[in-house]
């Protein structure tokens, strides 16, 4: 079994959408991980246990459920990293 965080799946999914829409977001590993870390530090974790390797199909529903919260936190994180990228 494996421990996973719903919120991380949602953040990953939505961050991808933001990056595709905004060409000004730096997509290097550093910046993407900084935005992700910022977002996950400002959102409540939602842990669940799953079979190892199982594809988590509810991620889409969860994206909708947490969309407003995740959007506002991601926007803050992206702005922060844009102003002070670590490179």
Point out which residues bind Zn ion (CB under 5 A): 26, 28, 30-31, 85
Looking at beta carbons only, is 26 or 40 nearer to Zn ion? Answer: 26
In the complex, least distance from residue 15 CB atom to Zn ion, rounded to whole angstroms: 13
Nearer to Zn ion, 24 or 57 (CB): 24
Q: How far is the CB of 47 from Zn ion (least distance, A)?
A: 29
SS3 category, 54: coil
Is the Cβ of residue 67 or residue 75 nearer to Zn ion in the bound state?
Answer: 75
Query: Smallest gap, in angstroms, from Cβ of residue 30 to Zn ion?
Result: 5
């Amino acid at each position: 079994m494996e421990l996973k965080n719903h919120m991380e799946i949602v953040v990953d999914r939505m961050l991808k959408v933001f990056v595709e829409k905004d060409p000004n977001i730096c997509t290097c590993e550093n910046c993407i991980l900084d935005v992700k870390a910022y977002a996950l530090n400002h959102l409540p974790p939602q842990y669940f246990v799953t079979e190892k390797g199982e594809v988590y199909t509810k991620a889409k529903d969860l994206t909708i459920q947490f969309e407003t919260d995740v959007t506002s936190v991601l926007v803050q994180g992206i702005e922060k990293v844009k102003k002070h990228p670590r490179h």
